[in-house]
Structure 1
Amino acid sequence: MPATAKPAALSQGLSALKQPQFRAVAGGYFGHCWELYAFRRNVFVIPIHD
């Protein structure tokens, strides 16, 4: 980024959520991240008995 670039306003980034296709992709990505978090969190909590 050039040194003269201004910081982007938060509203500019959030305006992407108005696009249905972006919402679908972002929702899928965050859902997948949540799956990974939940699995890694619970894999060490749930005891495995033989």
Structure 2
Amino acid sequence: MASVQADSRCLNCGFTAASGSDEWAHVAVPKLGTLTQCPECNSTNVTSGR
């Protein structure tokens, strides 16, 4: 079975990049842990393609 890299997308501005890539920023939130953050608009409203 071939491995396919899934994309994640920001639901706020539409930015798309490979899930887990260094293009995504991250922010630590107490009680929630580390959230993926859009580098374009700083939103954490991101769908993961994992």
The alignment's TM-score, normalised by the length of structure 1, stands at 0.19
Rg bigger for which structure? 1
More helix by share: 1
The alignment's TM-score, normalised by the length of structure 2, stands at 0.19
More strand by share: 2
